[in-house]
Amino acid sequence: MVPGWSEKLRRNGFGWGLVLPSLLFLCLFTFYPMLKSVWLSMYEKNLATPEPLFVGFDNYVNLLNDQVFKKVFFNNIWFAIGTVPVSLVLAFLMALFADKAMKGRGLSRLAFFYPNMIPMIAVANIWLFLYTPHFGLFAKLASWIADQPVNLLGNPSTVMGALIFMMVWKEAGYFMIFYLAGMQQIPKDLYEAASVNGVGALAAIRRITIPLTMPTTLFVAVVAITNAFKLVDHLWIMTKGGPNNSSNLLLYYIYDTTFNFYDQGMAATMTVVMIALLLVISSLQFFGWDRKIHYE
Amino acid sequence: MLKQSKLILLLSLCATAAIAGCGQSNNTSTETGGNASQPSASTSASPEVKEPVEITFYYPVNVGGPLTKVIDSMASTFMDQHPDIKVKPVYTGNYGDNTVKIQAGVQAKQPPDVAVMMSTELYSMLDMNAIIPLDDFIAKDADIKMDDFYPAFIEDTQSEGKTYSLPFQRSTIVMYYNKEMFKAAGLDPEKPPTTWDELVTYAKQLNKDGHAGLEIPGNDDSYWMFQMLARQHAADPKQNIMSSDGKKAMFDTPENVEALQFWLDLSRKNKAMPEGVIDWATVPTDFIEGKTAMMMHTSGNLTNVRNNAKFEFGVAFPPADKQFGSPTGGGNLYIFKDRSPEKQAAAFEFAKYMTAPEQAALFSSSSGYVGVRKSAYDTDAMKKYTADFPQALVARDQLEYAFRELSTHNHGKVSTAITNQIQAALAGQIDAAGALKKAQEEADQALAPFNK
């Protein structure tokens, strides 16, 4: 029987009513700014041209010739390569430990997770201090190794490493929580069956834990990669992208272009590029890797 | 089921209405604000009690110490004396954060009424059409006495014959030195280096016992330090690194290359300074903690150093090469467009108060910033302060050799271009000549639209 008109309205109305508040905010704060950026990226709008001037795809062409943008883009790729695999592996190991630890289980979980409870800006300030020449713990360690005072954040060759190190410290504990949840989903009888059949602990991890936490790995990897492209607060506090752009990342460069250079057209263009990039990364989850992964 | 669905629909409608309502109530409040102030202007002669004009005041703090308290208390004394004006002071972080907040406000047509901003923002604010000239206010007001301000500070308030701001939180670069370390190194603590050659010799001699001889900050606004060195080294005593109309940068002159080379040599060749980019914020800490014997820094940190250094320290002009020289720095008070005339008038009244001799003296003695007016130094408070602490006079005395900070159109791009290249040179990635050549190219590109 086909439901009547009023019945349809009632059902759909209920559904839409539930979705409406979120949808409203999503449109207001996500879709509208996105479309506005696409629109603005077609215009030249900066201090020299306060009234927007339509330039089509000129901004995109200029972006390809922008040395700083190229540098920032590759910085960001290096940053992702430096942070994502290491924090994933660390998170996995920490989760294994926190899952198995007999004594002090709660304490170890807390210890691993606490970097995520501190606000970003506070984290940046703590690490700024740790890297301060003469005073900071890591700065002292580095100068002991190098046998001379080292300014980790002031040197183009060390600044990226210092940021990657901090990011891994911050992210690994967060991802551990996902792994921990994933591991606790794995039925215990699998391990029991394995041990009855004389399979060693390492083999059990390789054959059972790793494959069965693959959905977690995928999810966490996507989050980690997008996070690597979204970092901005720490740069603002710690390096301002310097020295000479060697720690500058995409989002910070966009910020700088908007608020320091007042070049809104260019900033919009870069925003569009970045949105496209993030969409590609997260679509990998849906179209690529997802099919190859074993789900329960 | 029906009831529930209706309830939810109703709720979501309410939410929508509330959001729409926000925008509306905002509109009406600005409208009534405008309406309320118009009649008050026409009846300003009548003695009846009227609503006070409310103005918002944004200010940054860029040096150590509790300066927010000083500024807030200055604002509240102002309100005691002017019951018809209500000032809302808003501390906005450092200069960078402050500029971002103001810029966002300008775009949303909700700027503050009056704000402290870097003197170097003048052209950006003009290009954004965000500020008003103050000449009419100044002409009508007998109290303001513009010639009482130091000329070095007036320089960057003006463009094309109009005055756009009042000097407020102003500084120069001074050299701080640790007298005890001078003694320990066998140097006369009353004779700081006065020439580049002496600076190098002294710094080399002081660079021992686990502390550096000298530190010059090289991140953030490294162009400021570079400007100082460039001017000191210039054959023409009026040479600056940009044209006075802000449309041209002159970075890669042979003299400037030598000046930058001198900076690089301090660490690499002469081993008197730590290598690489030294952080702006850690330099004063290093000095206070005895990690460096001398530092070049803003005079704005004077009170911070005075309160925290546990040793005797001296303050001197940064040493001269061909002449002494320091760019001025810091912020001025700007008044914004798109505000009602009453608010703008109140804002000017407030700006005038904040820069009056007594307030300038108070602000200077509690921060180390230079008193912006000559008469500030004739007040009793200032006389007492400087008698106790003669170091505070150095920055003022230096005004004779002071000049305008790098200020151009498209200032963000131009200053970033030179800052980045100086950083690259300090980090050893590029030589002095190459760095300035690159900075020049980038600056020329950024300024091209303004030279059409």
Please state the rounded mean pLDDT for residues B90-111.
89
Q: What is the pLDDT of residue B48?
A: 54
The pLDDT tens digits for B19-41 are 444 444 443 333 333 343 444 44
Q: What is the pLDDT of residue A151?
A: 83
Q: What is the pLDDT of residue A292?
A: 66
Query: Which of B16, B276, B409 is nearest residue A151 as measured by Cβ atoms?
Result: B276
Query: Which of A28, A244, A260 is nearest residue B423 as measured by Cβ atoms?
Result: A244
Residue A228: which of A138, A160, A181 has the closest Cα? A160
Residue A170: which of A132, A120, A136 has the closest Cα? A120
CA pair distance B452, B449, nearest whole angstrom: 6
A156 touches chain B (CB under 8 A): yes
* Most confident among A208-217, B35-44, B75-84 (mean pLDDT): B75-84
Would you say residue B178 has pLDDT above 60? Answer: yes
Please state the rounded mean pLDDT for residues B368-373.
90
CA pair distance A256, B100, nearest whole angstrom: 10
Please state the rounded mean pLDDT for residues B431-449.
95
Q: What is the pLDDT of residue A47?
A: 86
Residues 6 or more apart in contact with residue A266 via CB below 8 angstroms: A46, A59, A62, A63, A257
Contact between chains at B413 and A243 (C-beta distance less than 8 A): no
Residue B15: list chain A partners with CB under 8 A.
20-21, 24
Please state the rounded mean pLDDT for residues A80-103.
88
Would you say residue A108 has pLDDT above 90? Answer: no
β-strand pairing of B85-91 with B114-118: unpaired
Instruction: Work out the pLDDT band at A107, boundaries 50, 70, 90.
Output: confident
Would you say residue A212 has pLDDT above 70? Answer: yes
CA pair distance B61, B330, nearest whole angstrom: 10
Return the H-helix or E-strand segment holding B412: helix B411-426
Contact between chains at B5 and A133 (C-beta distance less than 8 A): no
User: Cβ distance B323 to B400 under 8 Å?
Assistant: no
* Alpha-carbon A86 to chain mean position: 13
Please state the rounded mean pLDDT for residues B37-62.
67
State the maximum Cα–Cα separation within chain B, in Å, rounded to a whole number: 93
Please state the rounded mean pLDDT for residues B189-211.
93
User: Cβ distance B402 to B152 under 8 Å?
Assistant: yes
Query: Which of A18, A47, A50 is nearest residue B409 as measured by Cβ atoms?
Result: A47
Contact between chains at B279 and A154 (C-beta distance less than 8 A): yes
Q: What is the pLDDT of residue B366?
A: 85
CA pair distance A109, A98, nearest whole angstrom: 6
Cα torsion through A78, A79, A84, A87, rounded to 10: 130
Instruction: Work out the pLDDT band at B2, boundaries 50, 70, 90.
Output: very low
Residue A243: list chain B partners with CB under 8 A.
218-219, 276-277, 420, 423-424, 426-427
CA pair distance B204, B267, nearest whole angstrom: 10
Please state the rounded mean pLDDT for residues A204-220.
89
- B435-447 b/e with 16+ CB inside 10 Å = b? bbbbbbebbbebb
- Give the number of A-B residue pairs with CB atoms closer than 8 Å: 115
Would you say residue A296 has pLDDT above 60? Answer: no
The pLDDT tens digits for A232-284 are 888 888 888 878 899 999 999 999 998 888 899 999 999 999 999 988 888 87
A15 touches chain B (CB under 8 A): no
Would you say residue B66 has pLDDT above 70? Answer: yes
The pLDDT tens digits for A239-252 are 888 788 999 999 99
Domains of chain B: 51-170+329-403 (3.40.190.10), 172-328+408-450 (3.40.190.10)
Query: Which of A24, A28, A47 is nearest residue B124 as measured by Cβ atoms?
Result: A47
Instruction: Work out the pLDDT band at B260, boundaries 50, 70, 90.
Output: very high
Contact between chains at A262 and B282 (C-beta distance less than 8 A): no
A47 touches chain B (CB under 8 A): yes
Q: What is the pLDDT of residue B40?
A: 41
Predicted structure pTM score = 0.83
Q: What is the pLDDT of residue A269?
A: 95
Mean residue pLDDT across chain B: 87
Mean residue pLDDT across chain A: 88
| CA distance from start to end of chain A | 37
Could you write out the DSSP letters of every residue in B342-407?
HHHHHHHHHHHHHTSHHHHHHHHHHH-PBPSBGGGGGSHHHHHHHHH-GGGHHHHHGGGGEEPPP-
CA distance B107 to chain A (A): 11
A104 touches chain B (CB under 8 A): no
Please state the rounded mean pLDDT for residues A193-222.
89
The pLDDT tens digits for A152-167 are 888 888 999 999 999 9
